[in-house]
């Protein structure tokens, strides 16, 4: 599989507005936009930083995955996203190696990217996203 960079670092937060006080106000990483991804019940905020991006994730529903994550573990690092060139091919390779996947097929994430998640059980406890985006 060909991975070119860390596409973004996903952080689960209770409130994007509140957390921007730290990320923008204190760290000075500017937020360039927000987007609601309805089928994932999240609002994402994008904070580009060099070659990568910090992605803040706020749940829009109490039964959303981000809300459940925060309920169980508190706010914090949620996932790490790697940029791949060909997500279908990457998924085939992962399947062939017996890697446990959350998404067998790519779905559309924020910014229209094709994304899929690898189960943390196959990735040393980290939820890994692979993402193909222009």
Interface with Zn ion by CB under 5 A: which residues? 10, 81, 129
What 8-state DSSP symbol labels residue 21?
A: I
Judged by beta carbon, residue 25 or residue 73, the one nearer Zn ion is 73
Q: What is the residue whose two structure tokens read 């446990």?
A: 100
Judged by beta carbon, residue 20 or residue 40, the one nearer Zn ion is 40
The count of C-alpha atoms lying within 13 angstroms of the C-alpha of 29, restricted to the half-sphere facing its C-beta, is 16
Burial 7-20 (b: 16+ CB within 10 A, else e): bbbbbbbeebeebb
Q: How many residues does the chain have?
A: 134
Judged by beta carbon, residue 20 or residue 130, the one nearer Zn ion is 130
**Least distance CB 9 / Zn ion (angstroms):** 8
Backbone conformation region of residue 33, classed left if phi is above 0, alpha if psi is from -120 to 50, else beta: left
d(CA 98, CA 14): 35
**Least distance CB 49 / Zn ion (angstroms):** 14
Judged by beta carbon, residue 25 or residue 85, the one nearer Zn ion is 85
**Least distance CB 109 / Zn ion (angstroms):** 6
**Least distance CB 3 / Zn ion (angstroms):** 15
């Amino acid at each position: 599989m060909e991975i070119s960079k860390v596409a973004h670092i996903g952080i689960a937060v209770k409130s994007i507005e509140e957390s921007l006080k730290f990320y923008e106000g204190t760290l000075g990483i500017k937020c360039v936009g927000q987007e609601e991804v309805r089928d994932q019940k999240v609002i994402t905020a994008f904070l580009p930083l060099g070659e990568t991006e910090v992605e803040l994730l706020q749940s829009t529903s109490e039964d959303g995955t981000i809300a459940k994550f925060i309920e169980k573990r508190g706010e914090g690092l949620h996932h790490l996203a790697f940029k791949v060139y060909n997500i279908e091919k990457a998924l085939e390779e992962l399947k062939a190696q017996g890697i446990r996947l959350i998404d067998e097929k790519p779905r559309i994430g924020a910014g229209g990217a094709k994304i899929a998640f690898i189960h943390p059980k196959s990735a040393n406890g980290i939820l890994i996203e692979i993402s193909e985006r222009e």
